[in-house]
């Protein structure tokens, strides 16, 4: 079984340096630069029968991690460590309350950092941390939907959507690349949303949703296919 750690950070050079140090302990490193991708990777590793997620480290200096930290902690049993170049008491409190297992500053000596992390991880493993029921997570490009929390994030920023808009977006992502009609969308949404909807109102809900997505990303994710319906696209990058 291969053992991995996930580093959520922007600095590639620092990651590559520590990645080589962790190899000496037979632990492979994966770097992502957003919480959305971190959650996705954590789920992929934990669902793999041949891989083990050893820990997750979030370098907080340039990552807006707090809005999605609770979600990450609910989707994995791996220890979550927050490290920073400076210490902020309020952030420390909020991080621990939101699901982090450790919050602290860098240690100057790299090997001491490695030993400190292993000490924390081993201590958490000994506590036999209880497994939590996962939420339904849906990811597309920079969009993250957490069904159990009725929340949507784009590039780690939460966007305000109604329950109907959330269900429509979920359905479009599940059927990404395929054309779905207004009637198909309505049949999926009507029994799962407290909002008052009709087949005719689907058009307005999609119009609002498209505007919110485009405002947050400058990308028009929802394509109108005339006389057929709608399709979620994968943007070119």
How many Cβ atoms are within 10 Å of 64's Cβ, its own excluded?
A: 12
Query: What's the pTM?
Result: 0.73
Instruction: Check whether residue 25 and residue 77 sit in a common domain.
Output: yes
DSSP state of 147: G
Instruction: Check whether residue 87 and residue 169 sit in a common domain.
Output: no
Instruction: Check whether residue 120 and residue 213 sit in a common domain.
Output: no
Residue 43 domain flag:
yes
Q: Indicate which CATH number applies to the domain containing 119.
A: 3.40.50.2300
Instruction: Check whether residue 86 and residue 173 sit in a common domain.
Output: no
In sequence order, the 6+-apart residues with CB closer than 8 A to the CB of 218 are none
d(CA 119, CA 111): 12
Instruction: Check whether residue 71 and residue 118 sit in a common domain.
Output: yes
Q: Whose CA is closest to 15, among 25, 2, 26, 5? A: 5
Q: What is the pLDDT of residue 195?
A: 55
d(CA 185, CA 172): 8
Question: 142-146 contacts: CB < 8 A, separation 24 or more?
Answer: 142/34, 142/36, 142/217, 143/36, 143/169, 143/173, 143/213, 143/221, 144/36, 144/39, 144/40, 144/68, 145/169, 145/170, 145/173, 146/71
Instruction: Check whether residue 122 and residue 172 sit in a common domain.
Output: no
Segments forming the whole domain that contains residue 186: 162-232
Q: What is the pLDDT of residue 182?
A: 85
159 CA to centre of own chain: 14
Instruction: Check whether residue 66 and residue 176 sit in a common domain.
Output: no
Instruction: Check whether residue 22 and residue 106 sit in a common domain.
Output: yes
Instruction: Check whether residue 120 and residue 170 sit in a common domain.
Output: no
Strand partners, 138: 145
pLDDT in tens, the chain (237 residues): 899 999 999 999 999 999 999 999 999 999 999 999 999 999 999 999 999 999 999 999 989 999 999 999 988 889 999 999 888 889 999 999 999 999 988 887 888 889 989 998 888 877 655 555 566 888 888 899 987 777 899 988 899 888 888 889 999 999 988 999 888 888 877 765 555 567 678 888 899 999 999 888 888 899 999 888 899 987 765
Residue 134 domain flag:
no
DSSP string, 68-105: HHHHHHHH--S-EEEEESS--HHHHHHHHHTT-SEEEE
Residue 34 domain flag:
yes
Instruction: Check whether residue 70 and residue 171 sit in a common domain.
Output: no
Our CA dihedral for 68, 74, 80, 85, rounded to 10 degrees, sits at 20
Is-contact 190 197, C-beta < 8 A? yes
Domain count, the chain: 2
CA distances from 50 to 2, 72, 125, 184 (A): 7, 21, 19, 38
155 CA to centre of own chain: 9
Q: What is the pLDDT of residue 200?
A: 73
Instruction: Check whether residue 28 and residue 120 sit in a common domain.
Output: yes
């Amino acid at each position: 079984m291969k053992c991995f750690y996930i580093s959520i950070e922007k600095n590639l050079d620092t990651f590559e340096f520590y990645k080589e140090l962790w190899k000496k302990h037979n632990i492979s490193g994966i770097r992502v630069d957003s919480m959305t991708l971190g959650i996705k990777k954590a789920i992929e590793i934990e669902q793999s029968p041949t891989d083990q997620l050893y820990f997750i480290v979030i370098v907080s200096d340039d990552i807006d991690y707090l809005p999605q930290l609770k979600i990450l902690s609910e989707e994995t049993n791996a220890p979550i460590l927050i490290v920073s170049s400076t210490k902020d008491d309020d952030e420390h409190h909020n991080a621990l309350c939101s699901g982090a297992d450790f919050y602290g500053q860098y240690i100057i000596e790299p090997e001491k950092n490695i030993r400190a992390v292993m000490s924390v991880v081993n201590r958490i493993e000994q506590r036999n941390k209880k497994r939590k029921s996962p939420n339904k997570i849906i990811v597309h490009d920079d969009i993250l939907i957490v069904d159990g929390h009725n929340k949507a994030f784009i590039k780690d920023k939460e966007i305000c959507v109604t329950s109907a808009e959330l269900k429509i977006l979920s359905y479009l992502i599940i059927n990404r690349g395929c054309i779905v009609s207004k009637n198909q969308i309505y049949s999926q949404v009507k029994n799962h949303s407290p909002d008052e909807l009709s087949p005719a109102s689907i058009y307005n809900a999609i119009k609002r949703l498209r505007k919110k997505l485009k405002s947050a990303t400058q990308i028009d994710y929802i394509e109108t296919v005339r006389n057929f319906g709608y399709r979620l696209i994968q943007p070119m990058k």
